[in-house]
Amino acid sequence: MKKIMLLCAAVLLGVSCSSDANQSLLRGNIRGIKKGTLYLQQIVDTTVVVLDSVVFSGDGQFEFNPEVTEPSLYYLYLDRKDENPYNDRLPIFLEDSKIQVDAAWDTFAVTAKVSGSKTHDQYTEFQQMMSKFNQQNLALMQQAMAMDPKTQQKAMDSLLDKNNKNELRRYLFAINFALNNRNSVIAPYVAVVEIPEASPVFLDSIYRSLPTDVAQTSYGRALEALLQNSTK
State the pLDDT at residue 24: 64
Total number of domains in the chain: 2
Q: What pLDDT, on a 0 to 100 scale, did the predictor assign at position 47?
A: 84
Boundary of a domain, candidates 91, 116, 141: 116
Q: Which segments in the chain show pLDDT lower than 50?
A: 1-6, 8-20
Tell me: do 111 and 128 sit in the same domain. no
DSSP 71: -
Report how far apart the first and last C-alpha atoms of the chain are (Å, whole number): 24
**Among 170, 110, 107, 173, which Cα is nearest to 138's?**
170
- Chain segment 101-112, per-residue pLDDT in tens: 999 999 999 999
DSSP state of 149: T
Domain shared by 55 and 73, yes or no? yes
Out of 62, 95, 116, pick the residue that ends a domain. Answer: 116
At residue 12, the pLDDT reads 44
Which domain covers residue 165, as residue numbers? 121-230
Torsion of CA 214, 12, 63, 50, to 10 degrees: 160
- Looking at residue 187, its pLDDT comes to 98
Q: What is the pLDDT of residue 18?
A: 40
* Residues paired with 26 in a beta bridge: 64, 99
64: helix, coil or strand? strand
CATH of the domain at 52: 2.60.40.4150
Predicted local distance difference test score (pLDDT) of residue 232: 64
